[in-house]
Amino acid sequence: MALPVLLLCAARIRAQVEPERLPILRALARLTPDRSSPGDWPRYCGDDAMTGQAAGETAITPQTAPSLSPVWVAQLPGSIASSPTVVAGNVFIGDWSGRETRLDAATGALLASVDLGQTLMPQCNPDPQGITSAPAFSNGLLFLAGGDDGFYCLDAESLKILWRRSLGDNSPSGGYYAFCSPLVVAGRVLQGISSNCDNPFIQGKLFSMDRETGALLGEADLVPASMPGGGIWSSPSVDLESGQIFVTTASGLSLDDGYAYSIVRLSLSDLSILDSWRVDPGNTPDADWGSSPTLFTDSAGRQLVGAGQKDGSYYAFLRSSLATGPVWRTAMAIGGECPQCGAGVLPTAAFDGKRLYAAGGIPPDWARPSIVGSVAALDPGSGAILWRTVAIQGPVIAPVSIANGVVFAAGAHSALALDAETGAILWEFDDTAVLYGGIAISRGRIYFGDMEGRLYAFGIPGVSAPPAARAPAAGSAR
């Protein structure tokens, strides 16, 4: 696999909880809402349906987006490959030095930091790596996979470690590394695992952990124990009305390895596998599902789920019937095993209730000898391309996000804002480093990091700064 993923070995899973914190955690766990206040960006891709939509945004519009201007730049100690989480005037971001950091969203000032380790794996490139998992905020707590073998629950104000659970062996012979960002819902934390650079493969799993203690509530094996592969290196989405989770899986050693190469529907209550569909691995030598599942509806009211594939297509399915196959399939990019070379559709799409916004590498009809990236608006019901913009000198790998008629995408050395109606470029920023993490949108500002460790904040001139950073406690939830 061209991009690193996660690994689980047979190491004994363990959780560590500080006893003095249990009363506080029990109280927080009884607060059933897991969502943050309007205007926040509380998890990877913004919400539990992975729509990438900043629903409460009002300041950023097609009219104001061209005026986006630098507000501050913070230099972190390592490369930034994760997406920011923004809650209650705080920005949370991890970097490859292994540190998770809390900054003031208004000024970029450092407020807290914690070392969550690194993974050294000489057979993979790059090496070493730290934190790539974007934190999920829930009722005063942050949840994320560290740069080491652990999954962490942190106090969102101090970043103090409240509990830790090992999810695998991140040694060179073990291969575990955490790319996946968690989903926090109904008092539980869901985290998928996979291998780093498929060297070695591991058995893909989805874990459910108690939000309060980290106790293991359940696990789903995506391939039988005797078969490595089928890892989840994207992030889960959830349909709360049906109580069902959707995940996409990566490749394995064999073409018929369990639920490898598949989009899978599971029960939230017990992680039982309810439904699945497998792509034809013959379409590409490395048939991973690169993007997380996005939940959306079409004009007829059909409840759909979609995701991008390394074969270059974006696929959409009825949520209730994955096994019947795609409702539609749209060719977005050339297929292949090297996303950095312009192959495949890795970004998670965005949905604003009208259109689906997907991105990827070199369009299949691109005739020039250059590596480019593209963003397209798709009709949710048919997959028809409504517009396509090819304006990035390299593939888009980061998830797409949208606010109030403005589509944001990052790829190669560029960040773009596009008009959701037409695809016209409204704003562009050229960086000296590669952009792999997504763009978070919160209260008239956007936040993103680059692989030279810079975290950027851009805002609309004249719009009030975000409120002063405050303790993102349980009261932030609604």
**How does residue 149 score in pLDDT terms, banded at 50, 70 and 90?**
very high
354-381 residue pLDDT tens:
999 999 999 998 887 788 999 999 999 9
At residue 115, the pLDDT reads: 98
- The 10 Å Cβ neighbour count of residue 297 is 14
**Burial (CB count within 10 angstroms: exposed 0-12, middle 13-18, buried 19+), residue 206:** buried
Judge whether 326 lies within some domain. yes
396-425 residue pLDDT tens:
999 999 999 999 999 999 999 999 999 999
**3-class secondary structure, 98:** coil
Q: What is the mean pLDDT of residues 198-212?
A: 91
Residue 132 predicted with pLDDT over 70: yes
Judge whether 466 lies within some domain. yes
Residue 353: domain span: 15-476
**How does residue 6 score in pLDDT terms, banded at 50, 70 and 90?**
very low
235-288 residue pLDDT tens:
999 999 999 999 999 887 776 678 999 999 999 999 999 999 999 877 777 888
At residue 474, the pLDDT reads: 63
The helix or strand, by DSSP H or E, that contains position 244, with its residue range, turns out to be: strand 244-248
How far is CA 473 from its chain centroid?
23
Judge whether 3 lies within some domain. no
pTM of the predicted structure, to 2 decimals: 0.91
Instruction: Calculate Rg over the CA atoms of the chain.
Output: 20
User: Average pLDDT of the chain?
Assistant: 89
Q: What is the mean pLDDT of residues 438-448?
A: 97
Judge whether 171 lies within some domain. yes
Q: In whole angstroms, give the CA distance from residue 223 to residue 373.
A: 33
Quick one: CA torsion of 248, 251, 254, 255, rounded to 10 degrees? 60
**3-class secondary structure, 445:** strand
Residue given tokens 């995701």 in the structure block:
307
**Which DSSP category does 475 fall into?**
G
Judge whether 5 lies within some domain. no
Judge whether 231 lies within some domain. yes
Q: In whole angstroms, give the CA distance from residue 278 to residue 149.
A: 29
Q: What is the CATH number of the domain that holds 367?
A: 2.140.10.10
**How does residue 336 score in pLDDT terms, banded at 50, 70 and 90?**
confident
Judge whether 4 lies within some domain. no
At residue 46, the pLDDT reads: 97
Q: In whole angstroms, give the CA distance from residue 210 to residue 414.
A: 39
Judge whether 405 lies within some domain. yes
Number of structural domains the chain divides into: 1
At residue 24, the pLDDT reads: 41
